[in-house]
Structure 1
């Protein structure tokens, strides 16, 4: 047995394979947060695979190859037993052998999935039996939860899975917090070297989202923002994956010519949140992360979207103002700042993670337990986010254009 590593004959290092199962870019980004916890260990070998469900775009595989990683075909991945399977989705976990660690690729596994409903009409979450059970048995060996309240949900909807649950907090949020000291570096990466304000505009995907329901959203924001603001758009990776970079930039071209800057596909949104002074977002989890980080959040109007009662996104919607395009933007951002001053940020942070600052430690311990290896004595600190990257500015005529800085 070669633990899933192809061509063992040519190997320089022999060890246990860690299979990173990434059906899409969002899952890959979340799993990237886990890899530094084990990557320096010479006893294991990292390989990747993209489940061939037929629904996914090729960008995950392309990104993995571009980074110089070993990408197995699913046929190769199925051939051997892996030391550990890291999964940011349940897609593909039935097709491979080895202990599975399932982590959420968004805010939490307890979030609603409104495009799927159970037979009785109940909204499905990532903790639903249809996601976790195979033939009545729990498929993931460990199910990572961000909060104790998810244990209550799991006990209600899929009690068989309770022994497999680990409340680890949220490593994505921990990395955002770790990014705070690097704020000026992130601002410079976005092109701001003075005291100008940055307005970050994150949107999620689907026709219900802020951008999906208002094609001219970003032009409206640029026109409404004070002239000395830098407006930066952060689009959910699924938007880029589904429609293609060229198409999306075509849709944004008018706003970009007016001064909008756009985070490049696959750039780390956390650096932009750390750099921002204000956030104008829809129901994307980035809005909740930003609020928990202490940023004032003004909400973008969107089509009706079910939200988990008591969850961070729902609480954010209940306690932050909704943007009114008919009124000046700056006073509304001031109202969002006032909401933060009343303690909204710590409340949202407390809903995002029940183990603040501890996710890396808990996840590392869990991974080594599944691997059957002793955990190295050397601690691994949770690192700040990488620098954000912007899409290049379009060439525009001087007349009527807005200076983006």
Structure 2
């Protein structure tokens, strides 16, 4: 848990007595109550992949809440799209639930009910932020993320790969009994979507023979966006417009931290009229599958790119802030690093020449050790905690939606 959380008082002093919603105004009052906790846009998108597991089950009622977080700007777009019932955080903290789903740790000790915690990204790539009194640990896997005042908070911790389960033996061994390897929803949906690449390219408006370059940036000082002032002019001058189509995917935390207007303003000031800025609320996975080349950093999107067959250039790699045992670190050791010397189009050609599918397949295999099985594994876990029998149908992988066409950059108004 974060230092901000540690400054919070005990739950009883903050939230008052726990209440069970009597459901007196509900048409279906006897449902199991599920709370989906959304901290940020990224966490919310992660949890959306679980919602269809409860579809058409009249025994289950799902509500949402927005947890305190520095980057929860933009969460309202997820909730508006879902049109779900949203409880104020304070009310959620006073209510008992049969199941609580979250992809983050902040505030979880204040809620009442069995918590199922998921990772919010792939590969547990990043290290925790440096702090004066704490040793850096793998982001999402250390005690600070899973315990509160000496006790493990989640009822279950659902990880994607056996490697992550094994890492807990060193990082937080007390969480091993509640940890289950379930796979990765995005891995499964991208794998299914690879067969729809032509349809995604057509939906994006890409021409035959046009090379689509997706530039992906995580957030923070070590991100590609942090040095976009050096990369952007090269994208625009060294990749001929008649051959290349460019799109930029910026981590929603950058939009939440600075505002989308500011992000667009920075791009416009750098002359980015050829570069489509993908909106933070979009589903980035079809664009990733459609890409001919990926220029990225140590973020999860670049790692998922190892599944697609697209050559990858690493623009930024802050090795002191990366878990060196992660698949993301393996990707940075495998993919060519962006050079300041040669033209960018020549470097893309080099990346294509040097691309060896088996080397990237070995990296992608480390994202999920349960390929194709996330929905089955996750539903089994959730319904076990709910103490309900599973619905009598196979929970297949959901196809990714067709993306919106790549559009000209929006004006700065």
CA distance in 1, matches of 2:410, 2:25: 53
1:277 to 280, 286, 292: 292
Does the 8 Å contact 2:215/2:295 carry over to 1? yes
CA distance in 2, matches of 1:329, 1:219: 11
CA distance in 2, matches of 1:262, 1:82: 39
Distance 1:118 1:41, change over 3 A: farther
Residues 254-269 of structure 1 correspond to what in structure 2 (within 5 A)?
A: 254=269, 257-269=272-284
CA RMSD, 1 decimal: 2.4
Distance 1:288 1:124, change over 3 A: closer
Residues 289-304 of structure 1 correspond to what in structure 2 (within 5 A)?
A: 289-301=304-316, 303-304=318-319
2:143 to 129, 143, 146: 129
Distance 1:340 1:391, change over 3 A: closer
Does the 8 Å contact 1:57/1:242 carry over to 2? no
1:220 to 234, 238, 244: 234
Residue 163 (structure 1) aligned with residue 163 (structure 2) = no
Instruction: Specify the SS of the correspondent of 1:47.
Output: strand
CA positional deviation for 1:94:
1.1
Residue 47 (structure 1) aligned with residue 68 (structure 2) = no
What TM-score, normalized by structure 2, do the two folds share? Answer: 0.88
Question: Which deviations, in whole Å up to 9, do the C-alpha atoms of 1:174-218 show, x marking residues without a partner?
Answer: 111111122122212322142311111101111221111333433
Instruction: Specify the SS of the correspondent of 1:234.
Output: strand
CA distance in 2, matches of 1:269, 1:188: 15
Aligned to 1:358: 373
Aligned to 1:401: none
Aligned to 2:45: 29
Aligned to 1:100: 115
Distance 1:87 1:189, change over 3 A: same
Question: Which deviations, in whole Å up to 9, do the C-alpha atoms of 1:79-134 show, x marking residues without a partner?
Answer: 322121110001121121111110000114x4433414484634343121122112
Instruction: Specify the SS of the correspondent of 2:101.
Output: strand
1:341 to 356, 364, 382: 356
CA positional deviation for 1:70:
0.9
2:105 to 87, 90, 113: 90
CA distance in 2, matches of 1:50, 1:98: 16
Q: Which runs of 5+ in 2 are unaligned?
A: 1-17
Instruction: Specify the SS of the correspondent of 1:19.
Output: strand
2:323 to 286, 308, 317: 308
CA positional deviation for 1:75:
2.0
Aligned to 1:38: 54
CA positional deviation for 1:146:
1.4
CA positional deviation for 1:5:
5.4
Distance 1:310 1:201, change over 3 A: same
Q: Which runs of 5+ in 1 are unaligned?
A: 397-405
What TM-score, normalized by structure 1, do the two folds share? Answer: 0.90
Deviates more, 1:281-290 or 1:71-80: 71-80
Question: Which deviations, in whole Å up to 9, do the C-alpha atoms of 1:61-92 show, x marking residues without a partner?
Answer: 35313531111001221232212111000112
CA distance in 2, matches of 1:93, 1:122: 21
Aligned to 1:332: 347
Does the 8 Å contact 1:22/1:50 carry over to 2? yes
CA positional deviation for 1:385:
2.1
CA distance in 1, matches of 2:320, 2:354: 22
